[in-house]
Structure 1
């Protein structure tokens, strides 16, 4: 079984490409892919680019052209839920497109033709990601006391599971984040994090009948400092998270 590890940006995949054995690099539909073995498993690493359409294109290529059997997305997100802080990890249980609105023909957030607002992630894959992330963060937290770098001061103390919302907008002000969280909560949706690709990949995987799961590292609180925090976090922190969480996942 071949697993695809998909991310929007190369930094979100850490050192996975360098760790790939029998590596074969190729391009399709303007995107880069690497195929090989990683921790004993056949994998395809892919970069989708940013946004829902870009992510849907990459997911379709992986499933239709490259024949992968399951997709796992790894990357960063803005924290929205209560207690979801920078450095935490969110494993998605389902996705919703927060910018989908075909009302009044369809209820707000319902995806036309599907009769639902949310796309559910594969429980087995999600459980493996949760276990791997929990193990890594426990080890990382234990090691923080003996280190003093800026990286280790961002203490990843929790792994969360729940709803992640996607949209073609980088949520980067406190007012926008609060408004989005409030309108979703009023309708009964408690979003833990916001990003720009996952819901599209989840929808494509449902179309193809293939399992999908996603793990997101919280890089900011989707507030007025998000545009400052994001590049630094991507550069300094994401690599070890991606390396260790995906390694643990594949070894499970």
Structure 2
């Protein structure tokens, strides 16, 4: 059998060119350049009604689009800011927070929006500013070994608290520049300096009635500290609400904050969230109250954020 013919000088040159072209096609893309060179505070909300008040007060707005998401630069309370919607749920929040960090010079991340109340001492309209957040639906659905008894895999040693039926919460794996190896975390702390500013503006006056004259049964207040939890489920269940409070000592639960907190932690960007109670996550009398008090709660959260922006100095 004859050996294959040598490609010769011209042939080698062609093969080399083809190889370089193939490498270029599969090589990772260069990081995108900054879309805006000004260091800014990112202000995030999950969906449109939560951003109405903030957008109405934004000065010098300029819109940028990345991957179908609208990012608006401008000034609030005299500070350079970046406003965008994360989208509802954990995946959207993580993805679009990282997009913001990849394309803009973000100095701090502030989340403003509504949440379900978990702590029985809180009421609809109150604004919670937790000191830490957990992705509490990270977990395992354990094997049922006897009726009503569940056993996780014996090698799973990172469980967090008791279970709810077969579900048992566990820590989440995190990669970041903080260390070479991955780490597992249950909680993501908010930035201490941002939390201190939140404590200074805790007396910010809040609205008790909305434009349709739907009023809360008592005056709302700002509560700084405690814990918040997030997961990819809308909660309207009294038993689950009680479980979240007892297991995590949670004040509020939502569907985005912990995901944004994890991205902020991984990128070493200071983070804090302002969440106003629109409902009691199944703990109220009758039907869920979110659509009744959503606008009022979102407005109260935005009011606290604006007071925070005015008071905070690096």
Spell out the pairing of 1:52-201 with structure 2 (5 A cutoff): 52-101=90-139, 104=153, 105-108=156-159, 109-112=170-173, 113-137=182-206, 140=207, 149-151=213-215, 153=217, 155-182=219-246, 184=247, 189-201=248-260
Which protein is bigger by CA-based radius of gyration? 2
Q: Is the 8 A contact 2:117 2:280 kept in 1?
A: yes
Name the SS of the counterpart of 1:134 in structure 2: coil
- Cα distance, 1:17–1:148 mapped onto 2, change above 3 Å: closer
Distance 1:21 1:148 in 2: 28
Distance 2:69 2:226 in 1: 30
Q: Is the 8 A contact 1:95 1:163 kept in 2?
A: yes
Distance 2:212 2:58 in 1: 31
Q: Is the 8 A contact 1:89 1:133 kept in 2?
A: no
Q: Is the 8 A contact 1:132 1:246 kept in 2?
A: no
Distance 1:68 1:227 in 2: 40
- Cα distance, 1:121–1:243 mapped onto 2, change above 3 Å: closer
Q: Write the deviation string for residues 10-46 of structure 1: whole angstroms up to 9, x where unpaired.
A: 2112321121111111221222221011111000001
Can you give the 5+ residue segments of structure 1 that lack an aligned partner in the other structure?
none
Q: CA RMSD in A?
A: 2.3
Distance 1:98 1:220 in 2: 19
Aligned-pair distance for 1:164? 0.2
- Cα distance, 1:82–1:229 mapped onto 2, change above 3 Å: closer
Can you give the 5+ residue segments of structure 2 that lack an aligned partner in the other structure?
1-38, 141-151, 160-169, 174-181
Q: Is the 8 A contact 2:204 2:222 kept in 1?
A: no
Aligned-pair distance for 1:154? 5.1
**TM-score normalised by L of structure 1:** 0.86
Deviation beyond 4 Å, 4+ runs, structure 1: 224-227
What residue number does 2:304 align with?
Answer: 245
Distance 1:213 1:243 in 2: 13
Instruction: Answer with 219-228 or 43-52: which moved more.
Output: 219-228
Aligned-pair distance for 1:115? 2.8
Aligned-pair distance for 1:152? 5.3
- Cα distance, 1:158–1:35 mapped onto 2, change above 3 Å: closer
- Cα distance, 1:14–1:245 mapped onto 2, change above 3 Å: farther
Alignment partner of 2:294 out of 234, 242, 247: 234
